[in-house]
Structure 1
Amino acid sequence: MRQNIENLTTELIRLPRRERLELVRFLLFLDNRSSDSDNDIESAWEKEITDRVRAVDDGTAIGIDYDRAMQKIEKRFIQ
């Protein structure tokens, strides 16, 4: 299972930013059978995702260097 997750992660990293954000949104809201508490969490994530997409679109998002980001990802998922 761990290998499948790593393979999937590798593929997801290659997607364009907009497609990754859409996929995250889809996964977060996949299960609509949630409680009110979960709905609050989902609302917070919806706002966060919307804010992040808006920041990317507006050019105000603060990113990190690609190589540094990849180092962080590799450190987290390859160990």
Structure 2
Amino acid sequence: MQRKIEDITTELMRLSKRERLEIIRFLLFIDNRSLDSDDIDSAWQAEIEDRVHAVDQGKAIGIDYDEAMC
């Protein structure tokens, strides 16, 4: 049986502030984890591929690690 948003909201209002905050943290965590993680991973993957292609094509050159860290 599917619960209505109104029923859930009413039940949430009966919880203590601490319990509601725990639920909020959980909801924000699962929402951000599922969406942002995939977007970030694919953005980094594309960036890595672009950098490798640039080096392979001679459009970018690397520098020594010690020199870069100075």
Fold conserved between structures, TM > 0.5: no
Q: Which has the higher contact order (CA 8 A, sep 6+)?
A: 1
Instruction: Report the TM range for the smaller structure's normalisation.
Output: 0.3 to 0.5
